Structures are given as C-alpha cells and as structure tokens.
A and B are shown apart, each in its own frame.
Chain A
Amino acid sequence: MSQQIVNRSSGPIDPMVRSRPLPKHSLLIGFGVVAIALLAFVSSSAPVFYGHMIVMTLIYAALATSWNIIGGFAGQLSLGHAAFFGLGAYTSSILFVDFGISPWIGLLIALLGGATLGLLIGIPTFRLRGPYFALATLALGIILLNVAVHFRELTGGHVGISLPPTEGWGTMTFLNRWQYVVIAGGYLLVCLLISGIILSNRFGYQLAAVREDEEAARALGVNATRVKLLAGTLSGGLAAGIGTIYAQYILFLTPDSVLGTAVSIEIIVLAIVGGSGKLYGPLLGAVLLIPAGQLVLREFGGALPGLHTLVYGVIVIIVILLFPRGIWGMLTDTAALINRRRKHS
C-alpha cells in the first residue's frame, strides 16, 4: 500500500485500485478462477447440503453484488431488487418452457430485460431522493410480484413454473452441483469484475460524488441523472441474469420465491452487513450469512422455526449500530489503523 491518502469517511475506492488498476483485476480473475475450480471440486464430492450451500452462497453473492452498484456505489437504496431477479428468472423460464428457447439465450434476454427495466424505472424515480426512492422501488417489486400472480396463463400464478429436468449444458440443467458452481461462480466473478472496473474508473468517482452529496456533484458538473441511470441499468441487468441461473438451479419458480419482498430485503441485508459500497462487501455478507442461515435452519429449523431469521435480524441490528460501514468496512478500518500505528511507532 503506497502513500495514498485514504479517504476514510467515504470513498468506495480502495487505494490499491487507484494506484494500479490492471494488476488488481487480473489478480481478482486469477483468484476467482482458482476459487471456483476448488469450490466446484469440493461440491462434486461434498454432501448435498454443503453443495447446495455453496451454490446458494454464490447466487446470493452475485445478486447482492449487483445490488451494490446502485445501492452501494450510487447510494440509492433499492428495496425492490427482487423485481429484477424475478424478471430474469421468469423471462428465461417462460422462454424455455413455452418456446423451447435455450436458457443461455434466455440469460442474454434476461440481462437485456433487466437492464431495460432498470433504465425505464430509473427515468422517473431517480428524481426522488432518500426514502422516496426506497418506497418507489419497494412498490415496483410488489407490482411485479402481483403481475406474476395475476397473469396466470403466462406465469402459472401462485402455482408457479416447473422447469423440465432435461440434463445438459445446452439446457443449463444438471444433476450434479459442480456445473452450477462453475456457472454461478463465473457469473459472480463477472459481477465483481464489472464492479471493480466501475470503482477504478471515472464513473466510480462520479457515483461516489452523487452518493455523498448530489447537489455538490451536480455543481461540479457531474451529470447525476445520467450516472445514476447507467448504474441502475447495469445493476438491474446483472440482477436479472442471476435470476435465470437461480431458476435453472432450483427448476421451480413461484412469485414469492423470486419476486417476494423477503428476497429484496435479504439482498439488502447481505450487502449492508458485508459492507455496501465496498467491492467485496456484499460477497463477504453472503459468505457469512447464507451458510450461517442454512446451518441454523438445518439444526433448529424443525424445533424452532424462525430462529435463522431471528439471527439475521439481530446481526443486522448489531452491524448497523456498531459497524455502520459493514464488516468489510470495519476490517479495512482496523487494518488501516494498525498500519498507521506501525508506521508511527
């Protein structure tokens, strides 16, 4: 870590990214590929429970990372991100079941659909500030949920959609779990890479400026509406893409499982607990909370239903009160503090 001024109060920018953007990204790719290969190997031989845990962690990490672009980098609290996730899941599933279109093409269409929705929603709502924006996105999520419930012919309503278990890479459907680890892990890596590139570029600084003080950012010539729209488009598209992967993994969709308000809240919880606005914050949140939640659910789910969400709630409260910058923020703050102490002594 060179002699960079670390902006501790705000700034999503890791000093290392600022000084040498390229090596950092290749490091991320290298680490990511090795980690995915390891996880794929582990999941192919591990018990079903742990394999499932790995895939779900990767899926939620990707989802929270995509939320982070608009919710963290741009500081616009989206309470309706399940809308994008569900849109992606339903788009590819309907295309696959009703029209026989491969989920891979469905994934591309979901990406485009999510991005378009992000853009269309952003145009009117980015004028809203603070809690107004949060409430508008919350309403958007509920509208999409009810659209899925209402248009039964297309979505199956409350009954949902079951996807055919035709195994193979062409149909993105597998009996084993390691393929899903590769796909979801690869997708997560792409999300992280895009986020990293955003942070180390002018765009990332513009988003940080808008987040910290929109008026000041505008005064400095940042086109706040444009950068927020771009962030919303990217975030929506990436969230929709992981929806397709989730659908292909679970092979069963209901409005509540992909579009429910609980999904939107879970995304935010992961990102905030890990550290929103930080590149690896949402990933850390997912790595800590998804396995913990599943373990508690397995151990106590039968005897004490609700305990795993209780644990979630308590963690959220503790993190907000004690570590407002998330666990990642707390760790980097501590590291910076130790570093400084060492230099001074």
Chain B
Amino acid sequence: MTTIQILVSGVLIGGVYALLAVGITLVLGVMKIVNFAQGELLMVGMYLTLLLHTVLGLHPYVAFPIVVVALFGLGAGIHFGLLRWVVDRGHTQQIVLTLGIGIVLQSAALMIFGGSFQSLQIEPFRGGSIVIGSISIGTTRLAAFVVAGIATIALLFLLDRTLTGKAMRATAMDRDAATLMGIPVQRVYLITMGIGSALAGAAGVMLMPIYPVYPTVGVNILLIGFVVVVLGGLGSVAGAFLGGIIIGVVEALAGFWLGAAMSQIVVFALFIVILLVRPQGILKGDTV
C-alpha cells in the first residue's frame, strides 16, 4: 500500500515538474534557446503569489490569473530587452545570458525577501486531503496536477489549432522559411518566451501552497525540469508532460527506497543515460 501511496504522490508532484518542463521545451523548440532562467521565473511566480496573499489577502488560486499574466509580461520583457540579441548567437552565449538573468532574479529576490524559507498558510487547504481506501491524496497536489494537465492540453490546442500556434510551429521548423512566408519571427519569439514564462508562473502558483519558497528554490526544480525535457524529447510538449510524471514517480520511489541524495543520483544518472542512448526522448517526433 505504501508503494501505491508513493506512486500517487510521485504522479501528482510530476504535474508541477511537467508544468515547468513544458515551458522549457516550448522555448527550446521554437527559439532553440535553453532557458536557464526558467527556475527563477518559477521562483518569481511563487513570491508573487505569496505577496498577493500577504498584502491583498488573495487566495493563491484567485491570484493565479494575475501571476500568469504578470509572468507573461516578464518573459516577453526579457525577450524584448535581452534574449532578442542572442537568438542568432551560439549556445554558449545564450546559456550564459539566461544564467545571468537567473542570477539577477535570484539576487533580487534575496535582497527583497531575504534568504529564509517562507510558506503559505491557507487553512481550508492546509493538510486537506481526499482519502480513497488507505491512500490519501493532498488537495493542493491534486489541484497542481489538474492545472498542469489543463495547461498542457491548452498549449497543445494553441499549437495545433490556432494561427499563432501554426506560426510558432513554422518558426520552430525553419526560421528562415517562416520569415520568407511573412511570419513575424521576432513577435513569435516574444509570444513563445511569454508563454514559457507564464507556464513557470503557473507552476509557481500551484507549488506555493505545497512547498516553501526561498531565493534558490528554482535551481533544483530547474534541473529536474531539464531531465524531464530531455526524457520527453527536446521540443515535445506532450513528451514533457509524460516525462514530468515519469520523473516524479522515479524520484518518489527512489527517494523512498534509497534516500534523498541517492534518488538525485538515480534521476541524474538516468538523465545522462537517456542523453546518450535516446537523445530524441521517449516520444519521437516533435509536437512543437
């Protein structure tokens, strides 16, 4: 029974990983940039949720649209001010630039909020859980999972059924050809970076009632996010969602059987093996 309980927890926390990873994979697929600031964007989302709660008394789930829109703006702003200039440059420059952006966001959070762990206490949700047989499901975790699923489906719909999505897919496939077809590539990048950032914000909101926030909270989650992205296949949205759940489960089971540090070793060793053996990921064929 314990195993099933852990399995369920793993699947649910995998939803948050998926939400973050979908954002990374989208930016990577369309812009070909590995965004190392994605974890810090999630951190910003968490602090923003906390701030809206403590200052305005907003429930995190009510604050959700505000945070998502704010993070979309932040992401679009980062593209407009900074990333725009390195889209044509090599990977090293892009990675180091996003690392720099991450350092700035992290330091700013440390200066504003201090380094201590802060968590959100909301009574109706705190400790709330649904019990089925001997398995209990935390309501906040379940909510995070459901939102992750909805966000992924919505993104797939956007990519598959709308003109904006079509432009994004075209840009992902061949930037020059897309430009020749009259697609405003820079605007597509702006939207892509905005959506990627908004997804990190969504993950931040859903994580806030589950996990305490501190300035470097994004670092470890980002690393898990990369594992998920590679597992799912770089640029594949559906793969990232599936990968998030797989990594959530693997981490939870390995953590239970082998301990926290060992579970990290297992997850990242798995990561290197996937990179070497199946770099195209579990789902072949790009969705983006």
Chain A interface (Cβ < 8 Å from any Cβ of B): 71, 75, 77, 79, 124-125, 127-128, 130-132, 134-136, 138-140, 142-143, 146-147, 149-150, 261, 265, 268-269, 272, 276, 304-307, 309-310, 312-314, 316-317, 320-321, 324
Contacts and interface: CB of A to CB of B under 8 A. Distances in A.
B265 interface: yes
A165 B84 CA distance: 52
Contacts of A321: 82, 85-86, 97
B96 interface: yes
Interface string B202-245: 00000000000001000100010011001000000000000000
B92 interface: yes
B82 A307 contact: no
B104 A317 contact: yes
Contact of B265 (A75, A79, A147): A147
Nearest to A158: B261
Contacts of B107: 306-307, 309-310, 312-313
Contacts of B103: 265, 269, 309-310, 312-313, 316
A317 B262 contact: no
B82 A317 contact: yes
Nearest to B100: A316
Interface in B252-282: 259, 261-262, 264-265, 268-269, 271-272, 275-276, 279
Nearest to A76: B92
A300 to B, nearest CB: 10
Contact of B111 (A77, A268, A306): A306
Contacts of A77: 91-92, 95
Contact of A75 (B92, B102, B271): B92
Contacts of A276: 92
Contacts of B102: 313
A310 B34 contact: no
B93 interface: yes
Contacts of A146: 261-262, 264-265, 268
A313 B97 CA distance: 9
B43 interface: no
A9 to B, nearest CB: 13
Contact of B108 (A140, A265, A310, A324): A310
Nearest to B230: A135
A265 B265 contact: no
Nearest to B219: A261
13 contacts: A77-B92, A125-B275, A136-B272, A139-B275, A147-B261, A149-B261, A150-B265, A268-B96, A269-B103, A307-B107, A309-B106, A313-B100, A317-B82
